[in-house]
Amino acid sequence: MIAFARNVRLWFAPEQIREEGGTPDYRFSLANERTFLAWLRTALALIGGGFAVDQFLPDLRWAWRAGLALALLGAGVLCSLRAVNHWMRCERAMRRGEDLPVSRFPAVLSVVIAVVAVAMVVVVLVGWEG
């Protein structure tokens, strides 16, 4: 938790990260930036999915619809916050010449998306019957 708070401070202190270690090859930094953008797109897709659930499934019961939409929006928020955190950790690891950080997040996100997909199937079937 303390490490996380320190990371959050670094998000807002751009000078601090440039003081550590040496500047890596710009191509590595750009690759890291593209990975960050890919995660940000994933987050935007989840948020768009939340809006879409709210918009395009009007026949669902309100609780189901709001629950699914909020779950997708929440996943989008988590994904985007994790994107900037992971980008910064990678950037710092490259500057210090350390190994890149590993993460359980992709696996967790996959499982969550699978669960949401199953829930969607159930919801659509139930919605049609009702």
Partner 1 sequence: MNARPGQERDPGLQPERTRLAWRRTTLASTVAAVLAVKSALHGDVSAAGIIACALSCALWLVFLLIAHGRIRALASSDSPLALAPRHATAAVLCTVALAACGAALVL
Give residues in contact with partner 1 (CB under 8 A). Answer: 10-14, 17, 23, 25-27, 29-34, 36-38, 40-41, 43-45, 47-48, 50-52, 54-55, 65-66, 69-70, 73-74, 76-77, 80-81, 83-84, 87-88, 91
CB of 109 to partner 1, least distance (A): 15
> How crowded is residue 49: how many other Cβ atoms within 10 Å of its Cβ?
20
Nearer to partner 1, 41 or 61 (CB): 41
CB of 24 to partner 1, least distance (A): 8
d(CA 116, CA 119): 5
CB of 46 to partner 1, least distance (A): 8
CB of 125 to partner 1, least distance (A): 22
d(CA 65, CA 53): 7
Nearer to partner 1, 26 or 129 (CB): 26
Helix, strand, coil percentages in the chain from 3-state DSSP, rounded to 5: 80, 0, 20
105-129 and 62-96 helices cross at what angle (nearest 10)?
Answer: 170
Nearer to partner 1, 88 or 123 (CB): 88
Q: Which residue has the tokens 């690891």?
A: 93
